[in-house]
Structure 1
Amino acid sequence: MLRRIWIVPGLFAFALTLVGIKSTEAGPYTKLREGYGVEVSGSWNKGIFDAKSVEKLAEARRPKLRGTIEKLDKADSSFILFGLKIKVEAKTLFPARGESTGGLENLKEGMRLEVTCNVSKANRWTADKIDWNEIKPSDKIKGTITRIAFDNKPPDTIEISGLKILITEETDLYGSARYLEEELFGNLTADEGGTNVPHIRVGEQVLLSGDYRQTTRLEKSYTLSEVQEDDYQDTEPALRLEAAGNWAPEVQSFLQLRMRKKYTFGTFPNRPSTVESTRFEFQAIQAYLLLRAPAGRKAALMVGKQRVRDQREWLFDEYLDAARLYVYETQPVVLEASFLPSLFPFKDEKYRTWDDLLFRVRFIPDGKNEANVYMLKRWDSDLRNREPVYWGLSYYGRPKQFVTGWVQASLLRGTDKQRDQEAYAFDFGATFAATNLSLRPSLTLGYALGSGDKSSSDTISQEFRQTGYEDNSGRFGGFANFQYYGEVLDPELANLQVLTAAAGFRPHKQVSVDAVFHTYRQNQLDTDVRSDLITPPVAPNAVSKDLGWEIDFVLGVEKILKRFNIGYSFGLFNPGEAFAPLRADNAFLNRLNVRVEF
């Protein structure tokens, strides 16, 4: 690794060079037009909405406002929000709160609400839907620009059906860096989202937060044997503490500590047959500095132990030592160069002999879509000499309100066990959700393929192997994350074809249910399945490619009392003809995740 340490000062030098480049981008005002859909964050101030940031949406939309009722007139069936008179009609929807629906009688002055509106040509506003349950504290407006009053000398205004929005020099307009920074540096910049962003203030510079997590697993018949006793259970409580430091406009820090201990139960080959606990772990799983370029230049360097992940955790989801350079002068295009040396790996991690270099060109047009191309090169000091080179492209996002899609494609080159690698993989699919219906039903279809080795006796391997940093975890239409190639089999995408179909719905705004079905086939006949969990006493027979099928049920419960999150998964794997002629038993998994934020 030491012979490659030059990469770190090289990244610093590259950053300093790019910091001196002046942006040739046109004025940000030119990126707003009448008819554009926008999302505006800010606050109501003396008769006008003072915009903190403006983000362009993928398409025009009707207005949706989130704020505080200024005045309520029940006799007139109306209320004032952001200076607008909004009428409540008999057909206005009030989503259920607990076991009862709301109505105008439940509203009161000072209450926070989120209202979806219809606006007439005369700018008469009526409420189509009013949500009044656990509304976020930040004010926000979504809608379509109907008027622009810009002279490129702020302050200026835009209007959404008569609602005036003030644009100042401090406003982050479309083309600004905020949504990019939320994606790149989430723990330090996001004010909403799935992560527990530090929020308990200590002095002027430090924010604290934390969470308690407990994961419990029950595995049955993971050897696929009808005669061998192999039930297994473990539970792992973990406590995380986080601190974010804002030391200067150009300098921030993030520290995340984790304390955990696993307890195992059951009977399983090579596992304990009585209660046994693993050693107690106290680790700094993240400890890094974020150094921004001065004078508002759009470049930043993150140095230290940090979580490296992609949207679907197909390439990365690990806590790694890293120096990561981001340059976004050309936004929405982001240039990323990252060096990932194994300086202080956690004990017994498989990547402790790896050093990786990652280059990515990322296109992030808004907070909902990202496409990128990448190259990942590895050096390995282990005798195995696993030194792959990945060339790939990916997309994940929501191009329309009702569809979320993904595409992964990768070519694998390099060497592994002194064999050259010439392999490929792809994964694509989409989730279609009826977001306008109360149950929000969704349907997901996906297909993934990792190439297989035609012959193990030659000098070239055609078997695709994932990076070793992957987790293959995500979500479809619900709140809970799960292993999207199967909770039980949980395979690596190597010599494998996976066809996925799923359906889900949300019986409550904080509850989701998904049913996910997979079929598995080998790409080339082989006596191996690359899965960490399934360890059958009899390997696949290399006669049939049919590995079997799996069905998973996933329950997600989000933000109970704003702090409790629950995820539960039940999975059943049914082995296929590849395990014949010996009869194989089904394998089962029950997994419960509980997280409490504070």
Structure 2
Amino acid sequence: MMRPVLLRMFTACSLGIAAGGAAAEEFVDLRTTLIVEAAAERNFTLERGNVERAEEYEPQLRLQARFFPERRVWGLIEAELIHRIKRERGEPTGTDNRLNLTHAYLAIEDALPDTRLRLGRWLQRDEREWLMDENLDGVHLEYDRGRWQGELFLARVSHWRRDLLDHDSHGEPVNFVAAFGRHEMDRKWVKDWQIGAYAVRQHDVSADDTWLNHVGLRSHATPDKGWRHWLELAHVGGREGGERVDGHAVNLGVTYAFDTAPLRPRLTLGYAYASGDPRRGDRGGGAYRQTGLQSNEATFGGVAKFRIYGETLDPDLGNLHILTAGLGLDLGRELSLDLVYHRYRQDVLGKLRETELDPEEDRRDDRYLGDAFDLVLGWRPSERVKLEAALGWFRPSSRFRSDDDDDAPRAGDAYSARLEFNYRF
């Protein structure tokens, strides 16, 4: 009995790949994407002389199937087959294989007027991926009526296995309840302008007296010409390990595109601030912390997304002041180049946390951390092809030294590089 059923399913999927049969279009829409990611880092311990290096390569095959795409009730399954190769100086090359389930949900259109209900696993992203960029398991309700949109969900990260080849690939037992509201502004002088508010509650059920409430207001405008802007006003409160939490953050910036000039230059100026705690630095009760699900990736009007707080340091926004300046150019059709500068300073003197770096000698005698430069290239010649590449350079301040000697020179610079190539069949 099973063999004829499997044969019919295989035949339907084959027709979907050919994209030629009407019956296949009604049943399943298949997409296949080849992804190649590569990343390298150099001297993330900020040493001089004994410089560490590491590289990682991840060829991936992403398979996505959307079932009954034109119907009121439809489903989506997406999986990524990943082969990872990791090399570190002085260490043997390591490899592993993963089969990540990234989407698996049932969707119901208009369960309530102007809504979509999703049950299962989906990818949750917000503006500039500042709060969330993660696959969640749970229940998700979207509302979309004209200029008003909203989201409400109850979820957990990897409640079910993420890697189908690994029985232990479950996430931490942290529940998220979130509500987002957005309104599209209709103004002649600002295009693609959206304002919104959100509330996110996260509760770690494995820890005693640990829960956080994130609330905020936001404004984003992303027109192709003229002024673009972003603004985040955020507060986090609650309890963490029995200690009261009360922190706040501001993230704002503007980009202006000279649309009629050669190479269409774009100038960006941004500032981000997150409070620290005078008693315990970035993890005390007065310190702001992000949700832990963010990726902090966006664009300044170019083709490629990049890490908006720096490619090499790549910090979470906590106990920091970050000044950002950028120059972007359109080198051709769907080909962009961005040069970005960051200057970092702690709000309260404390240990460097929640970054990619692990410095050997941090004297903690200066709130100024250092400067960074990023070069970002993006190319999208068609809807099927995308290339993103970024080079990062972090130059530490004099608080980081090569050893514990009082006369030791400043620590060494750190570098990073990454590349991502996508081809959709």
TM norm. shorter chain > 0.5: yes
1:573 maps to what in 2?
394
1:216 maps to what in 2?
38
**Match for residue 154 of structure 2 among 339, 342, 347:** 339
1:239 maps to what in 2?
61
Displacement of 1:325: 1.4
Q: Does 1:537 align with 2:352?
A: no
Larger radius of gyration: 1
2:192 maps to what in 1?
368
CA offsets per residue over residues 332-377 of structure 1, 9 Å max, x none?
2223221113531536779521111001222135793322111111
Q: Does 1:475 align with 2:289?
A: no
Q: Distance in 1 between matches of 2:313 and 2:245?
A: 25
Displacement of 1:298: 1.0
Q: Distance in 2 between matches of 1:339 and 1:346?
A: 18
Q: In the alignment, is the contact (CA less than 8 A) between 1:545 and 1:577 conserved in 2?
A: no
Displacement of 1:432: 0.8
Q: Distance in 2 between matches of 1:462 and 1:572?
A: 31
**Match for residue 259 of structure 1 among 74, 81, 90:** 81
User: Which TM-score applies when normalising by structure 1?
Assistant: 0.62
Look up the equivalent residue of 2:421 and give its one-letter code: V
Q: Does 1:274 align with 2:92?
A: yes
1:287 maps to what in 2?
104
Moved more, 572-581 or 251-260: 572-581
Q: In the alignment, is the contact (CA less than 8 A) between 1:568 and 1:592 conserved in 2?
A: yes
Look up the equivalent residue of 1:231 and give its one-letter code: R
Q: Does 1:308 align with 2:124?
A: yes
CA offsets per residue over residues 214-263 of structure 1, 9 Å max, x none?
11112111100003331111111111011122366421222111110210
Once the two structures are superposed, the pairs formed by residues 52-451 of structure 1 within 5 Å of their partners are 200=19, 202-246=24-68, 249-267=71-89, 273-278=91-96, 280-293=97-110, 297-329=113-145, 331-342=146-157, 343-346=159-162, 351-365=171-185, 368-383=192-207, 386-398=210-222, 401-451=225-275
Q: Percent identity?
A: 27
2:418 maps to what in 1?
591
Q: Secondary structure at the match of 2:50?
A: coil
CA offsets per residue over residues 502-527 of structure 1, 9 Å max, x none?
00101111211110000000000112
Look up the equivalent residue of 2:108 and give its one-letter code: L
Q: Secondary structure at the match of 1:512?
A: strand
Moved more, 333-342 or 418-427: 333-342
Q: In the alignment, is the contact (CA less than 8 A) between 2:299 and 2:306 conserved in 1?
A: yes
Q: Distance in 2 between matches of 1:212 and 1:568?
A: 16
Look up the equivalent residue of 2:384 and give its one-letter code: R
Q: In the alignment, is the contact (CA less than 8 A) between 2:333 and 2:381 conserved in 1?
A: no
Relative to structure 1, the CA distance from residue 236 to residue 354 in structure 2 (aligned partners, 3 Å threshold; closer, same or farther) is same
CA offsets per residue over residues 55-87 of structure 1, 9 Å max, x none?
xxxxxxxxxxxxxxxxxxxxxxxxxxxxxxxxx
Q: In the alignment, is the contact (CA less than 8 A) between 2:85 and 2:94 conserved in 1?
A: yes
1:93 maps to what in 2?
none
Q: In the alignment, is the contact (CA less than 8 A) between 2:384 and 2:424 conserved in 1?
A: yes
Displacement of 1:396: 1.8
Q: Distance in 1 between matches of 2:312 and 2:227?
A: 27
CA offsets per residue over residues 156-188 of structure 1, 9 Å max, x none?
xxxxxxxxxxxxxxxxxxxxxxxxxxxxxxxxx
1:508 maps to what in 2?
332
CA offsets per residue over residues 419-474 of structure 1, 9 Å max, x none?
110100110001111223341110111000010011139x9611111000000011
Q: Distance in 2 between matches of 1:408 and 1:300?
A: 27
Relative to structure 1, the CA distance from residue 481 to residue 292 in structure 2 (aligned partners, 3 Å threshold; closer, same or farther) is same
Q: Distance in 2 between matches of 1:351 and 1:222?
A: 27
Q: Distance in 1 between matches of 2:48 and 2:19?
A: 53
Q: Distance in 2 between matches of 1:324 and 1:473?
A: 23
Once the two structures are superposed, the pairs formed by residues 540-559 of structure 1 within 5 Å of their partners are 541-559=363-381
CA offsets per residue over residues 309-329 of structure 1, 9 Å max, x none?
112000000011131112345
Q: Distance in 1 between matches of 2:229 and 2:241?
A: 36
Relative to structure 1, the CA distance from residue 282 to residue 351 in structure 2 (aligned partners, 3 Å threshold; closer, same or farther) is closer
Q: Secondary structure at the match of 2:172?
A: helix
Q: In the alignment, is the contact (CA less than 8 A) between 2:65 and 2:77 conserved in 1?
A: yes
Relative to structure 1, the CA distance from residue 399 to residue 214 in structure 2 (aligned partners, 3 Å threshold; closer, same or farther) is closer
Relative to structure 1, the CA distance from residue 485 to residue 422 in structure 2 (aligned partners, 3 Å threshold; closer, same or farther) is same
Count of residue pairs brought into register by the alignment: 390
Q: Secondary structure at the match of 2:380?
A: strand
Q: In the alignment, is the contact (CA less than 8 A) between 1:351 and 1:468 conserved in 2?
A: no
Q: In the alignment, is the contact (CA less than 8 A) between 1:199 and 1:209 conserved in 2?
A: no
Moved more, 474-483 or 306-315: 474-483
Q: Secondary structure at the match of 2:381?
A: strand
Relative to structure 1, the CA distance from residue 362 to residue 200 in structure 2 (aligned partners, 3 Å threshold; closer, same or farther) is farther
Q: RCO (CA 8 Å, sep 6+): is it higher in 1 or 2?
A: 2
Q: In the alignment, is the contact (CA less than 8 A) between 1:345 and 1:352 conserved in 2?
A: no
Q: Distance in 1 between matches of 2:206 and 2:171?
A: 10
CA offsets per residue over residues 381-422 of structure 1, 9 Å max, x none?
223754110111112223683122111111110111221101
